């Protein structure tokens, strides 16, 4: 079955790999990115099954226009992949208020903009799948990831409820929670670090940045494998509500579940 995919953040990283996997499966793809030229270059140029459109997801008007243009060109949107985002990596007190708000503006509100633009079309057709690229950091937070995790925790809470609102209307949802993937997500193209000097955290921040630098390019997760998994799931009649991808993600998520169980037990009335 030839489906139409609308994918955000498709010029590089996981979004680009999902676009390639969908195209390889014979699907039609509307690939969006802030730079349409970068997306065209990454995906080898437009053709009959590939349409490239510029989109800054923080612009709600533009998101509506892209959804409308996609439907005009190819008739429908069967799968939305809300992938675009970036990371503020570092200790909370080293970030300005503007930086924190920007993290939410992109990762949460931008993602909401695109979902708002596409959901009415899917509801009208009583069909569709919304794939939201979250992170295991949407389930587990740690030192150095508080701001990024906060945005992904918010995405998780929103989509968990929104999915239940959409399900009776025939629209399915998949939250994807990868561990560390071998993409450029941890370099300066996708990640920012705090700018406020806070001496109490100096040593810890130095160690954290060394960890990020060492991990960048050496992450255990294969984005191509995840992209293929998402395309396969999209073709199935039953889709799980969550996909926790990677051994590291499953270990962290399992440890969080165990911790919650213990804390729930200790919270019981005596």
Catalytic residues: 134, 148, 152
What is the spatial distance between Cα 234 and Cα 77, in angstroms, rounded to a whole number? 13
Token reading at 63:
């998101």
What is the spatial distance between Cα 76 and Cα 47, in angstroms, rounded to a whole number? 18
Pairing of strands 191-193, 87-89: parallel
258: Cα within 13 Å, side-chain hemisphere: 6
First CA to last CA across the chain, in angstroms? 57
What is the spatial distance between Cα 114 and Cα 98, in angstroms, rounded to a whole number? 22
Report in angstroms the alpha-carbon separations of 261 from 5, 54, 125, 264.
38, 45, 41, 5
What is the spatial distance between Cα 261 and Cα 77, in angstroms, rounded to a whole number? 40
């Amino acid at each position: 079955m030839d489906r139409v995919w609308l994918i955000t953040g498709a010029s590089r990283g996981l979004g680009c790999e999902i676009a390639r996997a969908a195209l390889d499966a014979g699907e039609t793809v509307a690939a969006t990115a802030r730079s349409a030229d970068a997306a065209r270059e990454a995906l080898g140029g437009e053709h009959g099954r590939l349409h490239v459109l510029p989109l800054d997801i923080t612009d709600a008007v533009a998101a509506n226009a892209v959804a409308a243009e996609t439907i005009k060109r190819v008739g429908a949107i069967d799968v939305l992949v809300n992938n675009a985002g970036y990371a503020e990596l570092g200790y909370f007190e080293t970030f300005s208020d503007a930086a924190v708000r920007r993290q939410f503006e992109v990762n949460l509100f931008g993602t909401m903009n695109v979902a708002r633009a596409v959901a009415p079309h899917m509801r009208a057709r009583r069909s569709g799948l919304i794939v939201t690229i979250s992170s295991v950091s949407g389930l587990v937070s740690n030192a150095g990831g508080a701001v990024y995790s906060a945005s992904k925790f918010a995405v998780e809470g929103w989509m968990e409820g929104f999915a239940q609102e959409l399900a009776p209307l025939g629209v399915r949802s998949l939250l994807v929670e990868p561990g560390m993937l071998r993409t450029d997500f941890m370099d300066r193209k996708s990640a920012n670090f705090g700018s406020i000097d806070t001496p109490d955290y100096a040593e810890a921040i130095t160690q954290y940045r060394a960890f990020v630098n060492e991990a960048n390019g050496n992450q255990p997760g294969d984005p191509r494998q995840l992209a293929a998994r998402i395309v396969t799931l999209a073709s199935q009649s039953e889709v799980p509500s969550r996909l926790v991808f990677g051994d590291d993600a499953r270990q962290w998520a399992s440890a969080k579940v165990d911790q919650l169980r213990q804390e729930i037990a200790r919270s019981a009335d005596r």
